[in-house]
Amino acid sequence: MTEVVPAAAVTVAPRWRRLAILLCGGSALGALVLGVGFLFFVLHAAALVEAEISPAPASDGGAGIAVLTGGPERVETGLALLLARPEERLIVSGVGAEAALPDLARLAGLDPATLAARTALGHEATSTRGNAREVAAWARAGGIRQITVVTAGFHMPRALLELRRAMPEVALRPHPVFPTLARPLPMLREYLKLVGAGLGLSALTERPRRALP
């Protein structure tokens, strides 16, 4: 006796099969795009080298230096740049509420008295997006049109993206410092943050601002 298969079942099964194939294909394509993007991200970060500490190119407006805290060598490099560029000003964005310029200068082996008048400390930022907002407010208040950005090499792409979004009128000059690359897992995490920032999702993960003392 021949079993009769309902026509609806014959129609539904191929539809689910096509949907499953599309989902698998889309997932594989997405993973490939992310993988290729991650490879380019790593290669780009590896190619970044610390620029020579020297006077910045002349600009039409004021020039400044922005240090985005969160890793070694950043503050020390920013202060050394400021010492080499007597016409510029500096902001160190995202420092702890207890941090003061004398403490930071001592770590760099510099005299804070020679730098105090040209240095601002930003205590509110808790993220790269917060850094960008803090630096943008400082730049606009001071009429600064060109900024040398100091942060780790692997963090530089996301830092520049957020800074350009916050102040498109300001020219940015990257000055990456060690480390250029991080360990594999932090490097992947930074890449995913970069993708999220590119999609405008960084606002969703930003922590509340620190209260000033």
pLDDT at 213: 40
pLDDT at 78: 94
148 closest CA partner among 100, 88, 86: 88
Computed on alpha carbons and rounded to an integer, the radius of gyration of the chain in Å comes to: 24
- Would strands 171-177 and 62-68 be described as parallel, antiparallel, or unpaired? unpaired
Domains in the chain: ranges and CATH: 62-204 (3.40.50.620)
pLDDT average, residue stretch 94-120: 86
**What's the mean per-residue pLDDT of the chain?**
80
Q: Write out pLDDT tens, residues 45-95.
A: 766 665 555 566 655 569 999 999 988 789 999 999 999 999 999 999 999
Helix (H/G/I), strand (E/B), else coil: 15: helix
Q: Report in angstroms the alpha-carbon separations of 173 from 21, 65, 159.
A: 46, 9, 11
pLDDT average, residue stretch 172-194: 83
With 0-12 CB in 10 A as exposed, 13-18 as middle and 19+ as buried, what is 90? buried
In angstroms, the CA 43 to CA 98 distance is 37
* Contact by Cβ (8 Å): 66, 91: yes
